[in-house]
Amino acid sequence: MTLKAQQGTSLSSGKLTLYAFDEKEHPVGCVELYNYDPINRRAAVGIVVSNECRHKGFGSKMVQSLTEFCKANTSLHQVYADIAATNAPSIHIFEKAGYQRCAVLHDWVIRSDKFIDTLRYQLILQSSSL
């Protein structure tokens, strides 16, 4: 699987979308760095896997590839993801990639006319020294 950024885009604009392709170059989804905070060197992570590619390991590969990309191509200290507490597949993907749950945001989002909790997961990419 490969990740490709749209030509001319960079994290310095505040958000970077990387498109994911399988080994036959078919699109499988995208992963995005957003809420970029250059002072504190962190960004949020979001992923989308196309319906026909779900439950085939692509989400895990996307998050792992993004982690490798961040370590090699950015000065980010950490990345984080906010995941609805009811989204077990995403929780599994991020935990498998080494993200650790660090917070619960109670009644954070509405799903089906009901407030639900969001779980914040984070991954430290680099040592804490500057």
Name the band, by pLDDT with cuts 50, 70 and 90, for residue 130: low
- Structure tokens of 12? 């310095």
19 part of a folded domain: yes
Give the CATH number of the domain where residue 103 resides: 3.40.630.30
Give the rounded distance of the alpha carbon of 111 from its chain centre: 21
Q: Does the pLDDT at position 17 exceed 80?
A: yes
30 part of a folded domain: yes
11 part of a folded domain: yes
Question: Pick from 36, 44, 35, 37: which is nearest to 82 by CA?
Answer: 44
Contact between 67 and 123 (Cβ < 8 Å) = yes
Which pLDDT value is given to residue 40? 96
Q: Does the pLDDT at position 93 exceed 80?
A: yes
Which pLDDT value is given to residue 12? 86
130 part of a folded domain: no
Which pLDDT value is given to residue 7? 78
Distance CA 118, CA 109 (A): 7
78 part of a folded domain: yes
Name the band, by pLDDT with cuts 50, 70 and 90, for residue 129: low
129 part of a folded domain: no
36-63: pLDDT as tens digits: 999 999 999 999 999 999 999 999 999 9
Residue at 84: amino acid letter: A
Domain count, the chain: 1
Bridge partners of 119, per DSSP, are 83, 104
31 part of a folded domain: yes
Domain that holds residue 23: 2-124
76 part of a folded domain: yes
pTM of the shown model: 0.91
Distance CA 120, CA 104 (A): 6
